[in-house]
Amino acid sequence: MEAHDPVFRLVILCTGNTCRSPLAAAAIREELGPDAKKVDLVSAGTAAADGQPASAGSREAAAGSGVDLSAHRSRRASADLVRGADLILVMEPEHARAAQSLGADPRRVHVLSEWPDPGEPALAVSDPFGGSKEAYEECWRRIRHHVRRIVPRVREELRARSA
């Protein structure tokens, strides 16, 4: 993207793109509010099967906060997707390695719980896939917590691009 382009490309990666990354994308959209229209926000999975809905547990956890994931369909991470990203947020270090193996700029790839510095790595976002309702709810709580730390940095970048 050109330096003067006001659109910010944000990619969020997890493994299957049915639990954590759709939740994180929804949380970021919600937290950005009207600024969300300035962000090209995409979630994908490093081992995703294309076209799968968000997991029932993720849909239920998000719905408890009034967030609807019913339109989500999974997609597999690709070189084109990650190479064009301004910021890539991943759930685990293995996702960062996968993004970099697809050609992502390592300076733009960060673990959600660890960015921006110093982050909160003790509050890692574990994969709730196949877990209990409580596991999904804890995943959603942690994602929203991290998103509240991250969105101010995204807004800073949006302001810089529109200046």
Query: pLDDT digits over 80-92, tens only?
Result: 999 999 999 999 9
What Rg do the C-alpha atoms of the chain give, in angstroms?
A: 15
Q: Assess contact for 50 and 76: CB atoms under 8 A.
A: yes
Q: With cut-offs at 50, 70 and 90, classify the pLDDT of residue 6.
A: low
Whole-structure pTM value: 0.95
Catalytic residues: 14, 20, 127
Q: 83: which residues sit within 8 A by CB, 6+ positions away?
A: 102, 103, 104, 105
Q: Can you give the pLDDT at residue 1?
A: 41
Q: Is the pLDDT assigned to residue 4 strictly greater than 80? A: no
Q: Measured in whole angstroms, how far is the alpha carbon of residue 28 from the centre of its chain?
A: 8
Q: Can you give the pLDDT at residue 2?
A: 46
Percent share of the chain, pLDDT over 90? 94
Q: Is the pLDDT assigned to residue 116 strictly greater than 50? A: yes
Q: Is the pLDDT assigned to residue 100 strictly greater than 80? A: yes
Domains of the chain, first to last: 8-162 (3.40.50.2300)
State the average pLDDT for the chain: 95
